[in-house]
Amino acid sequence: MTTPVGTARRADRARRWRQPTVWLRLLALGLFAVVPLVIPSFQATDLAIKIAIFGALVASYDVVIGYTGIVSFGHAMFFGFGAYAVALSVGRFGAPTYGHLLLGFLIGMAVSAAIAVLIGAFSLRVKLIFFAMITLAFAEFAGILAVQWSSLSGGEDGLSPKLPGVFAIAYDGGRILGIPVTGKLVTYYFVLAVCAALFLVMARFVASPLGRALQAIRDNELRAEALGVPTFKLQIVSSSFASVVATIVGGCYVMWVRYVNPESALGVPLMLDVLLMVIIGGIGTLWGGLIGAAVLLTARLLLPDLRGLATLLGGSEIAQRLTERWLLVFGVLFVLVVFFFPKGVLGTAREGLARRRRAGAAQEG
């Protein structure tokens, strides 16, 4: 049976391998894959895998904010659930095994899904902005709980779990092609593979009929509802899906960093970072998350070095404070980006490309 959608999809599929975006994505994956082999410094490897981790987290947030049009402030909380579930399961029951690792991921996902459905069920009925506030309140509560319930979570000190088998720091797999295989390297590739897989799943999710229905809700909820789209149910499905993805990413984060505390994995600051990343990369682009994460994490790594500038400026106290507070520069930049590039890097680029293509088509025709 040929429906208009089916025809369009087939045309899309035929064009797939001729589009530059596919090759760009493969290139990005390739770059991530060679970083630990080519650049021996730990800092570079750490930056690369964190870009992959936060890129995936931001993309999952984009599913909620960009593709469904729901503003949530609790997304970092689900990341934290994943991080804590894995850290607890691996670290609290004697010698770690693969089973514990898997169990941690599964428990984290189950908890996240349950809480996401619960939050959605009583706050999405009313008004989207209530969802934002209730998720914010939940996130705050989770942060406080993690600090207070220190017998379980380790309080502010956090947890530093030891990973099993090939992921352990002490693991030595000899040399393959002259490169020493360490636990850290295995973890790197494992996390990279999980993030890549998550990206594929999310891309599939937003391009599916369900994803299209979500975008219809985002663009015009009343109309979508009139067309028979079960808006309330689909919004819950979308936010739960994104939460579960964020949970898996959180687990990966703990596997790489081997440490989790309330501030780094649960708090409002993390949520702000994710928001900034999604804006910089571009809302509603999914892959923009990688760009946003790359920009923010690199800036965070390099900008504090600006402190040397203070001596150039004469070393007065105000000048010194000014350079210490690179966040100020960042805040101004952020406001400017929101104003002048509300679609972010990737969104603006896509728009420019589409315009050129249209101009080209007009010339030919």
Identify the residue among 133, 169, 201, 207 touching another protein (CB under 8 A).
Answer: 133
| 126 scored as a contact of another protein (CB under 8 A) | yes
| Nearest distance, CB of residue 218 and another protein, angstroms | 11
Can you give the C-alpha Rg of the chain in angstroms?
22
Contacting residues for 62 by C-beta, under 8 A, at least 6 apart: 278, 281, 283, 284, 285, 286, 288, 289
The reply to whether 128 sits near another protein by the rule CB under 8 A is yes
Window 240 to 269, contacts with another protein (CB under 8 A): 268
Q: Distance (Å, rounded) from C-alpha 124 to C-alpha 296?
A: 31
Judged by CB under 8 A, the stretch of 9-17, 120-128, 170-178, 237-245 that binds another protein is 120-128
Shortest spacing between CB 49 and another protein, in angstroms = 27
Q: Which of 141, 152, 157, 359 binds another protein (CB under 8 A)?
A: 141
Segment contacting another protein by CB under 8 A, of 88-96, 104-112, 180-188, 271-279: 271-279
Exactly one of 47, 107, 185, 279 binds another protein (CB under 8 A); which one?
279
Q: Tokens 């770059």 appear where?
A: 31
Point out which span in 97-105, 248-256, 275-283, 297-305 binds another protein (CB under 8 A). Answer: 275-283
The structure tokens 């910089």 sit at 280
Residues between 282 and 341 that touch another protein (CB under 8 A)? 283, 318, 321-322, 325, 327-328, 330-332, 334-335, 338-339
- Scanning 41-49, 104-112, 121-129, 153-161 for contacts with another protein by CB under 8 A, the matching segment is 121-129
Q: Look at residue 159 and give its three-state secondary structure.
A: strand
CA–chain centroid gap for 310, Å, is 34
Instruction: Tell me how far, at minimum, the Cβ of 140 lies from another protein, in Å.
Output: 6
124 forms part of the interface with another protein (CB under 8 A):
no
Buried b (16+ CB within 10 A) or exposed e, 307-324: eeebeeeeeeeeebebbe
What part of residues 24-83 is at the interface with another protein (CB under 8 A)?
A: 65, 71
Q: Does 114 bind another protein (CB under 8 A)?
A: no
Name residue, tokens 């894995």: 86
- 272 near another protein, judged by CB under 8 A: yes
Whichever of 42 and 122 has its CB closer to another protein, that residue is: 122
Q: What are phi and psi of 179, to 5 degrees?
A: -105, 125
Indicate the residue type of 60: S
Q: How far apart are CA 9 and CA 357, in angstroms?
A: 20
Contacts of 286 (CB under 8 A, 6+ apart): 59, 62, 63, 66, 67, 199, 202, 203, 206
* DSSP H helical ranges for the chain: 4-15, 20-38, 42-65, 75-91, 98-123, 128-148, 150-153, 183-207, 209-219, 221-226, 231-257, 262-265, 268-281, 288-302, 309-312, 317-324, 326-340, 344-364
Out of 33, 92, 140, 155, the only residue in the binding site for another protein (CB under 8 A) is: 140
Query: What is the enclosing helix (H) or strand (E) of 173?
Result: strand 172-176
Count of residues that interact with another protein, criterion CB under 8 A:
40
| Stretch of 142-150, 223-231, 248-256, 296-304 lying at the interface with another protein (CB under 8 A) | 142-150
Which member of 110, 117, 136, 181 binds another protein (CB under 8 A)? 136
Shortest reach from residue 304's CB to another protein, in Å: 14
Contacts to another protein by CB under 8 A:
65, 71, 122-123, 125-130, 132-134, 136-138, 140-141, 144-145, 148, 268, 272, 275, 279, 283, 318, 321-322, 325, 327-328, 330-332, 334-335, 338-339, 342
